[in-house]
Chains A and B, each alone.
Chain A
């Protein structure tokens, strides 16, 4: 009882404190303030617009502008070098955020800005383990999965990572992201390496060579994509028979647009997206206000009811229900649904953040071979 009332009191104080800062921010600058968020476009960005950006503007009067971002940290370095970056908040993959943090590309984030769960549970306990970091706040669980064009396989349907590499039984083009992300894991998974040992084996020269050899098997069938909305287009247009991509995009295409796309959950690669703030922005406080707003349980749940990415806090997970427009139950489409977790690979973001250059080099060498 005592703890709860204390929490309520703190909340009240917080809300009183928050309002003046926001007002101040507005009154100091003559033009209406604009916050620039770098994010991933497509159905994913639409869901963010409805769940976060529009409600934020409504509550504070601050406009949100988005710029397109396709991952990686090279582009952050470029932004900083250009000297007149407009970027404030970036929606980053956790391993990228971690690497960027170590390079000093990000502003620190005060964990006290995070609101407690509606039932008073402190944010530290409500968020997933490791979600609250000095430089980033992890917000969603997403998954990179293999999907296929149902029309391409009228008979037996592919259902495993191995099938992705089997051009004989399942002919057709394979669309892959042009980046050393996921390729390595799938190559070894298709050789029945257990997921527990993936990153240990990939840490050896032999493991990388083995992945190269495996990818050679499908080299001529590969179509590369870079932006997250391309895989859906490649599948629906019939250009590719199978494609890797983000589970939420595939869900959206299937459930909202009726595209003939099926997802193979085997070997899904689970990753995390995090909010972070580009170093040197003059709107750091405002950026924190936005992150505090976007990570409130009800807002996170609102996004999850638009696109099938799992919220990174428990109180939000419990609020996931039917799709806001289509009325489809969302839980079975979440990457974290129990039936999909049996063979899921949780991306080792520590390994990823430490092997950026090595993976890039491996990928270039393989492409040039």
Chain B
């Protein structure tokens, strides 16, 4: 499998990353998502990473890129479900996910996105 499925629900795109994220997969996701945002005119992108037990600076950069590209295409990005040790490790490394909003779970993420879209 070299592509992560993207679900289209209402005005949102949902991505759940459940496999070992390797670089090619991350790059593909970045391309697919930006393409789908412009095709579907989605207003929000929700990325669920609750299954990932590590996030390195490369994947963090891809997520950051997705957020920035989506923003240009008028969509907000919310990253949900980051595990506590992953969050602590990213902070210690000095990774900051500027421009990326976060939420504890998918439910809260959808609420946050809808709020952002309404504003």
| A and B associate in one complex | no
